[in-house]
Structure 1
Amino acid sequence: MLNIADTLHRWCREARPFALATVVDVHGSAPLPAGTSVAVDADGTAVGSVSGGCVEGEVYELCRQVLREDDGPRRARFGYSDDHAFAVGLTCGGELDVLVQRVDPATGPHLAAAFADVVAGRPAAVAQIVDGPEELLGRTVYADAAGGTHHGTHQHALTDALRGEVGARAHALLRAGRTARADVGGEYDGCPERLTLLVHVHASRPRMLVFGAVDFADALSRAGRFLGYRVTVCDARPVFATTARFPHADEVVADWPHRYLARTEVDPRTAVCVLTHDAKFDIPLLRLALGLPVGYVGAMGSRRTHDERLRLLSEAGVSEERLARLRSPIGLDLGARTPEETAVSIVAEIIAHAHQGTGLPLTGGAGSIHRTRAQARLAGAVPSAGRL
């Protein structure tokens, strides 16, 4: 649905109800991916596409019918083996599952907010229930980039536990920067319903800024890229900051770290990893990083280096509240020795910090292994400040 956010934003501002048809699953070859939508208003105006043209007429009529009759969402499948679907033109050999629902802006202000963020270029994720109990089909939850979760005024069928589970999954995919299907619920008493979501995401890849052109940076850039980050390696020494030394990084920059950080774009999903353990680089860089709205700030070094770093940062005017955001020595205690093992320990801490995990072994634990943010806080896993 976010592929047509500009028009839907305008229709919401005008309080204009519309029918929304969304590709919720794709099997085999299909012209457009899951998440693409077409919308039709009461005047018959249509925007968007679900198939690149081959089944648009059939979907358009379904939208008109749903908008006119207002009797709940409908599912339809178009595929090569379906004679009726073949007749309307889906000849690519694949199958499309399409969900058609009525959207009333008066009861869905959260969607208006989501569309507004997309139009403004801000990250946003909308989780749409595409499979589950009939009364929940088509329900939506909006996850914003600041960590907030929003729902419509007619979302009473969603329990608090279920809404939290849906929101947590939407935030996770927003951090990853990708649209995807996800199953939630059915795992514990507070969230017994089993649902399939389609999480629509508008976001660039999250950023990992690695400062220090050292062997650990090469291993970390590989691990970060594997997790879906857009990785930048920065070092003030041009002889070391080269693409030949860091082939897995998306960008290699030769500049003073604090100067580069001051001019580059960051957001709450950004991970800042300082590997230089050199005060002339670290102190101005960390002083700036700890005051920015980034999700994670970690610095490499021994415990003695960390204590000295805290003293220098405090003398530089960094508050205790900001110092508490610093993850140092960087990484989880995995007993890492090699650059590759150290990279795993660092990204493990980033993941645990983002999802408020404990970092403890799952063996011997209790309860669901996929806890919501609220459950993690109640368990005392990780403080909520500075999360990704």
Structure 2
Amino acid sequence: MLDLMPSLGTWRPAVSGERCAVATIVAAGGSVPRPLGTSMLVSEHGDVLGSLSGGCVEGAVVEAALEAMRDGGSRLESFGYSAEDAFAVGLTCGGELEVHIQPIQSTSAAGLDPALLNAVGGGWPSSMALIRRLDAAGGAVVVRDPARFSVADSKKLSALLGGDAGVIRAAAAQLEPLLHGGRTGLVRLAPAEGCGTVPDPKPITLLVESRLPAARMLIFGANDFGAALLPAGKLLGYEVTLCDARPAFSSQGRFLAADHLVTDWPHRYLAAEAAAGRIDSRTVVCVLTHDPKFDIPLLETALGLDLAYVGAMGSRRSHRQRIDGLLACGTSPEALERLHSPIGLDLGAVTPAEVAVSITAEILATRAPQAARGWVSLKDGTGPIHPSRPENRTPEQSKVTPWT
């Protein structure tokens, strides 16, 4: 739903005040085109904003949304692939979706208040969250600062949950990690103990959509590899900073695409950013300077922080020397386990562009290790980190001196 809000101000049905329903993916299995939390708006006249599956199930969802608006109730629809009936509504990719459909109309207790959505859509902050109650009680709460949100301190969320202290404590344990991490998820809570007189009480179901400012990628090293990694990091959605202590290197025009271009000693800059609260657990650090006087103090600082990824470029011999230097500085063996060195996945990368792909691939693999089975990080391998047989090298690769 968060992705659709910036468009509400220009979507004709919303501007004209038509009744609408929101359809949201609340569960997904197998191969599906869109993730949990993806939403689509349907107006009372059948106009659509957004997409759930790229066309596989949209028609059936529109019909269900129109029906929901007619009777004023929410519903849960399931879609999957049926080998027995090739003409059944479903996902040809073989996956399964559960789609929650909810009217947006202020007169319905189960609906979302249009004024609430318009207030959010009117000002689009980079950090916000939406908590929607999907069970019969309905309702929603907008969170303006999810990174610092406390469930116990929110009167609006307490009202959404019915005010029961036990439910609020249980909600805090599940909601706050999602909000603080900028993630989307479905939360189910046992109803209040006072509901014991109600036969078969339904759980409280919340959909949390949380968005934080872009995570940061800090590239240390104004060289060919840094120049190639910069656009790759931006392509993945990172806010990219390139830092180098040498003005003659960092002032080159090829680095101007960085969100931040810094001339400072790397370890000093990283320590200052951490002290200012501009580093978090989503931050990625790529050390490409390949120079011990920069690398050792920088990696000592980085490995003392809670970061998503720390990688350092160099050969296996450079890596061994780097480890010795870090141990001599007092870095613990446990912290060194977090260091990706040599940096990147073992893809046979040689050119700066290929190395950038190798590094970003490893960063993605650390986000979802279960999806990266079969790929080997260079830090876990042995032997030269570049192909040495001339017949296996492209003309472009042959121009590059291997840093083995």
Tell me the TM-score normalised to structure 1 length. 0.51
Cα deviation digits, residues 130-187 of structure 1 (max 9, x gap): xxxxxxxxxx9873445996713159xxxxxxxxxxxxxxxxxxxxxxxxxxxxxxxx
Q: Which residue of structure 1 lines up, in the alignment, with residue 146 of structure 2?
A: 118
C-alpha deviation, 1:232, in angstroms: 0.8
Q: Distance in 2 between matches of 1:273 and 1:323?
A: 15
Aligned to 2:178: 143
1:163-312 correspondence to structure 2 within 5 Å: 200-242=209-251, 244-264=253-273, 265-312=278-325
Q: For residues 370-385 of structure 1, what are the structure 2 equivalents within 5 Å?
A: none
CA spacing shift, 1:359–1:145, aligned 2, 3 Å: farther
Contact 2:178 2:208 in 1 (8 A): no
Unaligned runs of 5+ in 1: 3-32, 39-47, 64-74, 86-95, 123-139, 156-197, 363-388
Whole-Å Cα distance in 2 between the matches of residues 253 and 34 of structure 1? 35
In structure 2, the CA distance between the partners of 1:340 and 1:310, relative to structure 1 (3 Å rule), is: same
- Does 2:43 align with 1:78? yes
Report which of the two structures shows the higher radius of gyration computed on alpha carbons: 2
Shift of 1:360: 2.3
Task: Measure the CA separation in 1 of the matches of 2:214 and 2:147.
Answer: 18
Counterparts in 2 of 1:336 and 1:350: CA distance versus 1, 3 Å: same
**8 Å contact from structure 1 (residues 49, 56) kept in 2:** no
Structure 1 residues 259 and 34, CA, compared in 2 at 3 Å: closer, same or farther?
Answer: same
The alpha carbon displacement at 1:35 in A equals 4.4
- Output the CA distance in 1 between the equivalents of 2:245 and 2:41: 57
Paired residues of 2:19 and 2:43 also in contact (CA < 8 A): no
Structure 1 CA distance for aligned equivalents of residues 5 and 314 of structure 2? 44
Q: CA 1:76/1:321 → structure 2, altered by over 3 Å: closer, same or farther?
A: closer
Local SS of the residue matching 1:293: coil
The aligned residue for residue 100 of structure 1 is: 102
CA distances 1:328-363 after superposition (whole Å, capped 9, x unpaired): 00011111111111111111111111111435269x
Q: 1:302 to 1:115 in 2, by over 3 A?
A: same
Gaps in structure 2 of 5+ consecutive residues: 23-39, 48-60, 66-100, 104-109, 111-131, 151-173, 192-206, 377-404
**Higher RCO (C-alpha 8 Å, min separation 6):** 1
**What is the aligned partner in structure 2 of residue 355 from structure 1?**
368
Equivalent-residue separation in structure 1 for 2:349 and 2:373 (angstroms): 15
Q: How far has the Cα of 1:319 moved from its partner?
A: 0.9
4+ residue runs over 6 A deviation: 48-52, 105-108, 147-150
Is 198-207 or 287-296 further displaced after alignment?
198-207
TM-score normalised to structure 2 length: 0.49
* Residues 50-70 of structure 1: CA deviation (Å, up to 9, x unaligned): 8796243645xx89xxxxxxx
The verdict on how the C-alpha distance between 1:306 and 1:104 changes in structure 2, with shifts beyond 3 A counting, is closer
